[in-house]
Amino acid sequence: MQDSLKSSSYQQLEQKSKYTNMFLRWFLYFILILFASYFIFPLYVMVVTSLKTMEEIRQGTLLSWPSGLNIESWAVAWGGRGYGAGDTFLRPYFWNSIKMVVPAVFFSTFIGAMTGYVLTKWRFKGDQWVFLFLLFGCFIPFQAILLPMARTLGVLGISNSVIGLVLVHTVYGIPFTTLFFRNYYISVPIELVKAARIDGAGFFKIFFKILLPISAPIIVVTVIWQFTQIWNDFLFGSTFSFGEAAPIQVALNNMVLSSTSVKEYNVDMASAIIAGIPTLIVYVLAGKYFIRGLTSGAVKG
Amino acid sequence: MKTLKIEELSKNFGSTEVLKKINLEIDEGNFLVLLGPSGCGKSTLLNIIAGLETINEGDVFIDDYNVSKVEPKDRNIAMVFQSYALYPSMNVRENMIFGLKQAKTSKEKIQEQLEKVSKFLQVDQLLERKPSQLSGGQRQRVAIGRALVREPRIFLFDEPLSNLDAKLRVEMRREIKKLHQQLKTTVVYVTHDQTEAMSLGTNIAIMNHGVIQQNDTPEKIYNKPSNTFVADFIGSPSMNLIKGVLKENSGDLLFTVSGSNLEIPIKDYDFKDKSNLNNKEVFFGIRPEHIFFKKFNESDFEINLRADLSEYIGHEQIMTFDYANQEVLAKFPSTIKIDLGKDTKLYFDLTQASLFDAQTEERI
């Protein structure tokens, strides 16, 4: 008698907790969807606006669906309308940015890896001071170094060129990349280096054969960081370059702000998306490798 | 010719002296264990032998050749590390032949060495695996294999068993012992585990605060410790050190503790210096395993002590007795029943006793 009473009350409790859980779960989904849409909303507006004609933009609302896949504004943003002077479009500047970002990311990552390697595995007297001063580079506001840097580029004869921008971005990337690699390599046991030295490997061999092959996760992190920083940079680009040597962010600014006639929102939106696509691609591609690198990473022998 | 000789070696990190005037010699084929508590400088000494640390003063000789300024790779040594230090990105084969490849050894020779060593260590089935896919014992084997293929003059081991669990540690210890018996290569082995040191070494150098306290055979270290540090460090539980005074009484020497009537006659003790023994303050040292519950030898000295504590540990029990307000530990089979709080008849094997100067803490 008592047993059956007990079991029925347990059933009630079970039922109740089931309902509570269900409610909480749906509440959670609701909140998540709310936040997700809050973040996705601007992208939605950009994409639909870029696919509308100017007519539709003037008559419809911000949220209204485009009448069709009208990709003309994308073509204009990328390749221009084909008049001679005064026609700004992204294609040449996009390639400028690529030419700037690839070597700058490569050199800053490589030098950061080397520096991190030396600061952790070939300790020398005063190395912590070197590291400290390098860290200052992470905190200096870049506006403060614009003038000296402009002078330096002038003396080197590479102002207003892609090479000049590569140099600037490499130099100011090194503090961050060094920080990343140093913090990664500090967890790699020093015995690895000792063992390699006994095996007869030298400074560079240990770096390339032992440390670099296990650095995939931190290389990916650094590349994502550097790529985003350099690709999205506007300050250095607008200060140290103009006209044909400008990177895409500067060109985007010129395009959007300097239109002489009517504001072409659809072309502006398409341009903005084009300027943002490479960083998105890097996140999507490298993000996957990043997680893979983290899970398979067995740094400790 | 000494395989390894260290002369007047000193090392400091900044203002901290890590090693002070170390002198050490090893004959061909010997197994030297550097034993000491952490921070005693034993690993630094090993790193210096390997050439991974610089020297402040003194010299290191391998086969009578001064290698103090020679690169690690040219010293003809190989080292096994506590963390194994296998290269994570390389498989077992690549790990083992990395050193030979650096030394530009011919392909045939590399292959021959690899086959020989991997068969010998039973890792020939694992050659294609990455270190992360190996168990602790297998990693240790590969690390030893990587050292073996180089056919070095001296093997250096830096606490190679500390990362293994207790059972595997005993197994690997036996394997290292076997390995040494078969290869007869000179070994320098660093550990803080006295059982490892005792069972493996042909010689043990006990270190503390950067100084070698005693460098001897395991038997001598155990039976005739040269100072109270060594006496205390070796053995578990460690040697009882009873503080008291030596008294000369009509030609006989007695050990007494002030304020008690307990006296131990000192006969046939091998003193280093027989002068000025009267009224000398000393530690009387006797190991727990040399105190018996019944008379085994004719010379055993009978004494009555109060039993205070019993610790049962399976095959034996550790009893604590009161000796004039000083604790004396003894090790008995766990089948013996001893009543606590009562005086118990004990027998000290005085042939195994040690005496230390209470001031200098050196053996007298």
Is the pLDDT at A292 greater than 70? The verdict is: no
Confidence at A82, pLDDT banded by 50, 70, 90: low
Query: Tell me: the pLDDT tens digits for A151-180?
Result: 999 999 998 889 999 999 999 999 999 999
B162 neighbourhood in chain A, CB within 8 Å: none
- How many CB pairs below 8 Å do chains A and B form together? 76
Q: Is A297 exposed, middle or buried (0-12, 13-18, 19+ CB in 10 A)?
A: middle
Q: A91-296: CATH homologous superfamily? A: MetI-like (1.10.3720.10)
pLDDT at A296: 46
B322 alpha carbon, distance to own chain's centre: 30
Q: Looking at this protein, which amino acid is placed at residue B114?
A: L
The pLDDT value given to residue A291:
64
Query: Would the CB atoms of B81 and A194 count as touching at under 8 Å?
Result: yes
User: pLDDT of B52-63, one tens digit each?
Assistant: 999 999 999 999
The answer to whether B225 and B213 have CB atoms below 8 angstroms apart is no
pTM of the model: 0.82
Share of chain B above pLDDT 70, in %: 100
Give how far Cα A221 sits from Cα of A173, A288, B34, Å: 13, 11, 43
Separation CA B283–CA B354 (nearest Å): 8
- CB A170, CB A108: distance < 8 Å: yes
A192 to chain B, any CB pair closer than 8 A? The answer is yes
Query: For A108-131, how does the pLDDT look when each residue is reduced to its tens digit (9 = 90+)?
Result: 999 999 999 999 999 998 999 999
Give the Cα separation of B287 and B236 in Å (integer).
Answer: 9
Q: How far apart are CA B247 and CA B257, in angstroms?
A: 10
For chain B, first and last CA: distance in Å?
Answer: 33
pLDDT at A84: 57
Rounded to an integer, what distance in angstroms lies between the CA atom of residue B307 and that of residue B285? 19
Question: CA-CA distances (angstroms) from residue B290 to B240, B282, B287?
Answer: 10, 19, 5
What is residue A260's predicted lDDT score, i.e. its pLDDT?
A: 64
Q: Would you state the pLDDT for residue A5?
A: 61
Q: First-to-last CA distance in chain A? A: 63
Task: Kindly state the average pLDDT of the residues B15-43.
Answer: 93
Q: Find residue B306's DSSP bridge partners.
A: B322, B343
Give the closest of A198, A200, A301 to B88, CB-based: A301
Nearest to B85 among A191, A214, A298 (CB): A191
For residue A35, pLDDT beyond 80: yes
Domain boundaries of chain A, sorted by first residue? 2-79, 91-296
- Sorting pLDDT into bands at 50, 70 and 90, what band is A299? very low
Q: Compute CA distances B207 → B36, B41, B216, B254, whole Å.
A: 5, 7, 12, 32
Cα(B281)–Cα(B350) distance, integer angstroms: 19
Q: From the options 3.40.50.300, 1.10.274.10, 3.30.70.600, 3.60.15.10, give the CATH code of B4-233.
A: 3.40.50.300
Write the class of the CATH domain B240-357: mainly beta
Sequence spans of domains, chain B = 4-233, 240-357
Interface check for A84 against chain B (CB to CB < 8 A): the answer is no
pLDDT tens, residue by residue, B253-305: 899 988 788 889 888 888 888 888 888 999 999 999 999 988 888 888 999 99
ipTM of predicted complex: 0.84
pLDDT band at B136; cut points 50, 70, 90: confident
Q: What is the pLDDT of residue A156?
A: 94
Report d(CA A10, CA A16) in Å as an integer.
10
Sign of the Cα pseudo-torsion (B335, B336, B339, B340, in order): negative
- What single DSSP character describes residue A208? I
